[in-house]
Structure 1
Amino acid sequence: MKKILLAGLLALGFAVPGVQAAEYKIDTQGQHAFIQFKIQHLGYSWLYGRFNDLSGHFTYDKDNPDASEVVVNIDPASIDTNHAERDKHLRSDEFLHVAEHPEAKFVSTSFEDHGDGTATLKGDLTLHGITKPVTIDAEHVGHGPDPWGGYRRGFRGTTKIALKDFGIDYDLGPKAREVALTLSIEGVRQ
């Protein structure tokens, strides 16, 4: 019960004596966070895109980084490949089916700090109405004060997901079965 109460207090942002974890809000207002993707098109070229609308938060304790937690909410309708007709197709029921699945979400389950500025972040990704575990290779980019009186911390992460794992089975060729994701997350300490 004490663990549940402590976790609840941290989630609400209350200061608990002796606890060093800080909560950070992902800075999407200043566009200092993004999720990009790339996938091969028919095996002939790479298609790049991003999700323009996301939000979330993370906790980080420099003395106990393995206790870090991350939650990211993604609006799949905000997909942007710099081509309006393709984006419309990607929002359709043949791909993301955003009318039926208006939200994608990542919730961390573990964070393993390697002591060299890198870490392994594991969690559950919900996309297209299906939740699967994913592993993200993370890099701690940096932290410190910003010019507006705040304090920031940033991470970069990469992973690959198989479209079929999330119920997306559109044939773009044998080399287009996996999507590579790059996540750049900068948070402002609350």
Structure 2
Amino acid sequence: MKKTLLASAVTLAMMGTASADQHSGTYAFDKKDAHQFITFEISHLGYSTLYGRFNEFDGQFTFDADNPANSSVEVTIDTASVDSNHAERDKHLRSEDFLYVDEYPRATFKSTEVVVNDDGDEAEVTGDLTLRGVTREVTLDVDLVGHGEDPWGGYRMGFDAQTELRLEDFGIPMDLGPASETVKLEISVEGIRQ
């Protein structure tokens, strides 16, 4: 399950450049889902790489340009929206062997710490990821994609975030061998200032 589930993600977020035109505020994820993705990848028995995504998720982040460490992010994922482009496999991923979506329909991430690099274009966002009823601290490596006014009079910021999870850390019982113990999760999100 690709780069950080979540998430991240999901999610993710807050850091930015120290430029004077940067705007603080709360940003909601783009509701059209056209500009955001939560994807994952995991080895299948060490013989191939399985890619997938979560089609339904939501979240927001707060960005503090004066003090980026005060920024935060929250993400909620509909785990039943898992999509690996194969109906039977997706059914298995939703089962008790993996995500157990009947019992745990949502995964969430809530940040607890944001550490921004000196250039302001990268950050480590640490937070609590709850997946399959288990909450663990995870860290997202976050890159600022960009920010600025959009053609419709709004203001947007975009981030890419990655992390890696051990399946057993979240109580996932399926054992596909040592090559398949971890999943990479990636969250790419565009927020619209509220």
TM-score by length of 2: 0.86
Give the equivalent residue in structure 2 for 1:105: 108
**Structure with more helix by fraction:** 1
Deviation of the 1:106 alpha carbon: 0.3
Residue 118 in structure 1 maps to residue 119 in structure 2: no
Residue 147 in structure 1 maps to residue 147 in structure 2: no
Greater relative contact order, per chain length (Cα 8 Å cut-off, separation 6+): 2
Give the equivalent residue in structure 1 for 2:86: 83
Amino acid aligned to 1:31: A
Unaligned runs of 5+ in 2: 1-22
Give the equivalent residue in structure 2 for 1:137: 141
Amino acid aligned to 2:73: V
CA deviation vs aligned residue, 1:91-116 (integer Å, no higher than 9, x gap): 01111110000110000001001022
Give the equivalent residue in structure 1 for 2:32: 29
Which of 40, 51, 55 lines up with 1:48 in the alignment? 51
**Pairs aligned (count):** 171
Contact 1:28/1:54, CA 8 A, preserved across alignment: no
Which structure 1 residue ranges, 4+ long, deviate > 3 Å from structure 2?
A: none
Amino acid aligned to 1:92: S
The whole-number CA distance in structure 2 between the counterparts of 1:114 and 1:39 is: 29
Give the equivalent residue in structure 1 for 2:97: 94
Deviation of the 1:149 alpha carbon: 1.3
The whole-number CA distance in structure 2 between the counterparts of 1:142 and 1:48 is: 26
Amino acid aligned to 2:147: H
Amino acid aligned to 2:156: R
Identical-pair percentage: 56
Cα RMSD, aligned residues only: 1.0
Higher gyration radius (CA): 1
Deviation of the 1:169 alpha carbon: 2.1
SS in 2 for 1:175: helix
Deviation of the 1:21 alpha carbon: 3.5
Per the alignment, do residues 187 and 97 of structure 1 end up closer, same or farther by CA in structure 2, a change over 3 Å counting? same
The whole-number CA distance in structure 2 between the counterparts of 1:61 and 1:40 is: 38
Which of 182, 186, 189 lines up with 1:178 in the alignment? 182
Unaligned runs of 5+ in 1: 1-19
Contact 1:108/1:122, CA 8 A, preserved across alignment: yes
Amino acid aligned to 1:52: N
SS in 2 for 1:171: coil
